[in-house]
Amino acid sequence: MTLDEELANALRQNWRTAPLSEADRAMLGYVEKLTKAPASVSQDDLAALRAAGFDDTSILQINLIASWFNYINRVADGLGIGRA
């Protein structure tokens, strides 16, 4: 969450070009891979997060939050919530 409207708009357009720290880029790259191709997540991805400064507790939190949002969005999609 941010109160910076410019950052929020940049993130909506493309997180890869938004003005982010290297740690945030590593986190979002991991989250995108976890969302789009979870079976392809490897120890190398976790090592990249550690290299960006995240400890195991932080990595677990990133994973749990992303996984929960993926789960709840699939539940909503499966029930047709939000569709006209």
| CATH number where 56 lies | 1.20.1290.10
- Determine the Cα–Cα distance for residues 22 and 36; give it in Å rounded to an integer: 21
Q: Calculate Rg over the CA atoms of the chain.
A: 14
3-state secondary structure of 77: helix
Predicted pLDDT at 33: 98
Contact 7, 18 (CB under 8 A): yes
The residue with greater pLDDT, 80 or 3, is 80
* 31 assigned to some structural domain: yes
- Residue 10 pLDDT exceeds 70: yes
Contact 22, 52 (CB under 8 A): yes
- Tell me if 83 is assigned to some domain: no
* pLDDT score at 84: 65
- Average of pLDDT values for 26-37? 97
Domain that holds residue 13: 5-78
Identify the three-state secondary structure at position 53: coil
The per-residue pLDDT for 47 is 98
Is 35 among the domain residues? Answer: yes
Question: Does residue 56 belong to any structural domain of this protein?
Answer: yes
User: What is the rounded average pLDDT of the residues 47-68?
Assistant: 98
Other Cβ atoms within 10 Å of 26 Cβ, number:
20
